Amino acid sequence: MLALHGSAADGSFMERYSGLSAIADREGFVAVYPDAPGGWNTDDHKAGAADDVTFISDLLDRVEHDWCIDPHRIYAIGVSSGGGMVARLACDLSARLTGIASVAGAYGALPACRPGRPVSVLEIHGTADRIVPYQGRASDGAGNVPAFVHGWRSRDHCAKRAVRRPIAPRAFQVDYRGCARHSAVRHIEIVGGGHQYPGATPPDAGPPSTISASWQAWRFFARLRS
């Protein structure tokens, strides 16, 4: 599982912040924490910006060479700008990724998405996020979270009807069923939640978390194969 940090952070921070290494040790998967010193390049319009899609592809080559990795079970999770980056990877590296989880992800600058095959998607977002607003930018709605989720429901050819249920105080899980090639699309809506990674260490500012984003991601990923 790749774990992509947010802005002004790095891989070492993401390891401590997410707590994913403890879950990896317990559940038996490899967690990888890449660095993007200049921030993740989620679009194609930053002059001189790094080609982070190629960087991640090359990193996967290296990990697969050095470790015993199942190529049918490669996942990525990211927070904030890292969430936007894993959303882009789902489009551009769909041949390699089985599933992604985006937490408080930024989607407003993403290029057009044309995955070569279905990719499972989990999106976790607070409805009161002021950094990456749930309803997108006030000017044009770019980055709207429900629209992002619905876009993946369409790409993965899931049933239009959603199943919504509470999973914790202030947290609702929305699932789309019947997706192509055993893929899945899920959204966890944190009512009143801010720009947070639920369950982070130390906790982000805002209402106390009632779920763990890292555990929710692993539970989503664990049953998936491409």
Task: State pLDDT tens for residues 181-208.
Answer: 999 999 999 999 999 999 999 999 999 9
Average pLDDT score over the chain = 95
Q: Does residue 60 contact residue 96 with C-beta atoms inside 8 Å?
A: yes
Q: What are phi and psi of 125, to 5 degrees?
A: -155, 140
Angle between helices 11-18 and 20-27 (to 10 degrees): 70
Q: Confirm whether pTM is higher than 0.85.
A: yes
Q: How far is CA 48 from the centre of its chain?
A: 25
* Three-state DSSP class for residue 151: helix
**pLDDT in the model for residue 45:** 61
Q: Does residue 152 contact residue 174 with C-beta atoms inside 8 Å?
A: no
List the one residue out of 50, 155, 143, 61 whose CA is nearest residue 102: 143
Distance CA 126, CA 60 (A): 30
pLDDT bucket at 70, cuts 50 / 70 / 90: very high
Q: What tokens does 110 get?
A: 């993403």
Distance CA 82, CA 172 (A): 23
Percent of the chain residues past pLDDT 90, beyond the cut: 92
Q: What tokens does 86 get?
A: 């894993």
Angle between helices 52-66 and 81-92 (to 10 degrees): 80
pLDDT at position 46 over 70: no
**pLDDT in the model for residue 208:** 96
